[in-house]
């Protein structure tokens, strides 16, 4: 039995709490929202996951100190745009010798184009850092659907420690030392899921969908290699696996956002309709800037960027992708 601190009371934070509590751990969740904390503590519910009942070994608090003190492991599960500021707020309570910090969010910091574990390292230089990622919807993890994840860290002890804590009959965890690849794959697949939503809404068909996923993965891996990741990581659980689940599922808020864009809504209207942070929107801008910085060919990213920020019609974007110059596949 371990004491687990989870920073973030959104759907993924609560889903991870449900899994860890189900295998005997005590979990404390930090929330910035008093109403969410009260709902978890008093009604044993989560507004993002209406089909679960929260057990007694999960509690929620507005206090970083209360949540982090005495924890054996800290899971950071907040939207990427808030990560740095939140880490700054709680770093004073972290015992860097005893409390590994595992980033479970999927995204990049737009202002620096950094992966989130690098953001944590900058704020807490001596911390033991890792990431946990893979094809996993909160709606399914929270009710015990068999799920396979990857524990990534440059520190072998950290990645094995997380693997040991999370493994159960409903969750299998592999390990990886390619922290950059795992985080880039997890962040950039959101972009392709957004595009998948547009494709579904435009009724482009299975042929188009398969091409989008395949060529999208090629773009993700191409950029990933440029920033120092291993190519093979992108064809594993946190690349191909996460891409498949996010592009195909109605659980995906990124796919839903893409569908709304395909339906003709503005970006502001989409954000209001989805009602939660849409990581793909910031990730599209970040990927575009990285593409320009490293001079990487990413035509899908370029066209979806034009749709979001330059007023391009989605049908025109598809036409331009189909009319690109001839070339070999590999």
**CB hemisphere CA count around 67 (13 angstroms):** 27
> Catalytic residues, which ones?
189
**Same domain assignment for residues 127 and 189:** no
Report how far residue 285's alpha carbon sits from residue 291's, in angstroms, rounded to the nearest whole number. Answer: 10
**Same domain assignment for residues 71 and 196:** no
Pairing label, strands 58-61, 26-30: parallel
Query: Which pLDDT does position 276 carry in this prediction?
Result: 67
Report how far residue 184's alpha carbon sits from residue 181's, in angstroms, rounded to the nearest whole number. Answer: 5
Contact 9, 49 (CB under 8 A): no
Contact 199, 191 (CB under 8 A): no
**Same domain assignment for residues 116 and 227:** no
**Same domain assignment for residues 192 and 72:** no
| Number of domains composing the chain | 2
Strand order in the sheet with 58-61: 58-61, 26-30, 3-7, 73-76, 101-103, 129-133, 147-152, 171-176
Is position 136 within any domain? no
Angle between helices 179-201 and 206-226 (to 10 degrees): 150
**Same domain assignment for residues 241 and 119:** no
The domain boundary, picked from 131, 157, 177, lies at 131
Is position 153 within any domain? no
Report how far residue 293's alpha carbon sits from residue 111's, in angstroms, rounded to the nearest whole number. Answer: 14
Query: Which pLDDT does position 295 carry in this prediction?
Result: 96
**Same domain assignment for residues 99 and 198:** no
User: Coil, strand, or helix at residue 30?
Assistant: strand
**Same domain assignment for residues 302 and 194:** yes
Pick from 93, 123, 92, 216: nearest CA to 103: 123
The domain boundary, picked from 106, 131, 156, lies at 131
The CATH number of the domain where 92 resides is what?
Answer: 3.40.50.720
The CATH number of the domain where 277 resides is what?
Answer: 1.10.1040.10
Is position 31 within any domain? yes
**Same domain assignment for residues 218 and 109:** no
Is position 149 within any domain? no
Give the helix/strand (H/E) hosting 221: helix 206-226
Query: Which pLDDT does position 251 carry in this prediction?
Result: 81
Is position 314 within any domain? yes
Query: What residues pair up with 219 in beta bridges, in sequence order?
Result: none
Contact 75, 5 (CB under 8 A): yes
Pick from 80, 78, 122, 111: nearest CA to 286: 111
Is position 178 within any domain? no
For each of the chain's 330 residues, which pLDDT tens digit applies?
999 999 999 999 999 999 999 999 999 999 999 999 999 999 999 999 998 999 999 999 999 999 999 999 999 999 999 999 999 999 999 999 999 999 999 999 999 999 999 999 999 999 999 999 999 999 999 999 999 999 999 999 999 999 999 999 999 999 999 999 999 999 999 999 999 999 999 999 999 999 999 999 999 999 999 999 999 999 999 999 999 999 998 888 889 889 999 988 888 888 888 776 677 778 899 999 999 999 999 999 999 999 989 989 999 999 999 999 999 988
**Same domain assignment for residues 88 and 199:** no
Is position 247 within any domain? yes
**Same domain assignment for residues 104 and 224:** no
Q: Which residues of 28-41 are buried (b: 16+ CB within 10 A; e: fewer)?
A: bbbbeeeebbebbe
**Same domain assignment for residues 18 and 113:** yes
pTM for the predicted model, two decimal places: 0.94
Contacts of 228 (CB under 8 A, 6+ apart): 180
The domain boundary, picked from 131, 155, 177, lies at 131
Range of the structural domain that residue 109 is part of: 3-131
Is position 175 within any domain? no
């Amino acid at each position: 039995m371990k004491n687990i601190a989870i920073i973030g009371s959104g759907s993924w934070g609560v889903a991870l709490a449900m899994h860890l509590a189900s295998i005997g751990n005590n979990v404390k969740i930090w929330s910035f929202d008093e109403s969410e904390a009260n709902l978890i503590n008093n009604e044993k519910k989560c507004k993002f996951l209406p089909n679960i009942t929260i057990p007694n070994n999960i509690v929620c608090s507005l206090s970083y100190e209360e949540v982090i003190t005495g924890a054996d492991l800290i899971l950071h599960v907040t939207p990427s745009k808030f990560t740095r500021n939140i880490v700054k707020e709680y770093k004073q309570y972290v015992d860097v010798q005893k409390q590994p910090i595992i980033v479970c969010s999927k995204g990049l910091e737009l202002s620096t184009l950094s992966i989130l574990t690098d953001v944590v390292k900058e704020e807490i230089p001596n911390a033991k850092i890792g990431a946990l990622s893979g094809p996993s919807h909160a709606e399914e993890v929270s009710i015990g659907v068999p799920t396979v994840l990857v524990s990534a860290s440059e520190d072998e002890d950290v990645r094995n420690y997380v693997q040991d804590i999370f493994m159960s009959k409903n969750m299998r965890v592999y390990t990886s030392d390619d922290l950059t690849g795992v985080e880039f794959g997890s962040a950039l697949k959101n972009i392709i899921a957004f595009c998948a939503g547009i494709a579904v809404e435009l009724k482009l068909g299975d042929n188009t969908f398969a091409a989008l996923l395949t060529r999208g993965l090629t773009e993700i891996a191409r950029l990933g290699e440029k920033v120092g990741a291993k190519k093979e990581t992108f064809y594993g659980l946190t690349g191909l696996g996460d891409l498949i689940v996010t592009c195909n599922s109605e659980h995906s808020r990124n796919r839903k956002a893409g569908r709304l864009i395909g339906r003709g809504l503005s970006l502001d209207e989409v954000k209001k309709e989805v009602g939660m942070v849409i990581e793909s929107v910031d990730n599209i801008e970040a990927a575009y800037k990285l593409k320009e910085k490293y001079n990487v060919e990413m035509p899908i990213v370029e066209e979806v960027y034009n749709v979001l920020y330059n007023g391009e019609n989605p049908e025109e974007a598809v036409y331009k992708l189909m009319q690109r110059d001839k070339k070999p596949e590999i």
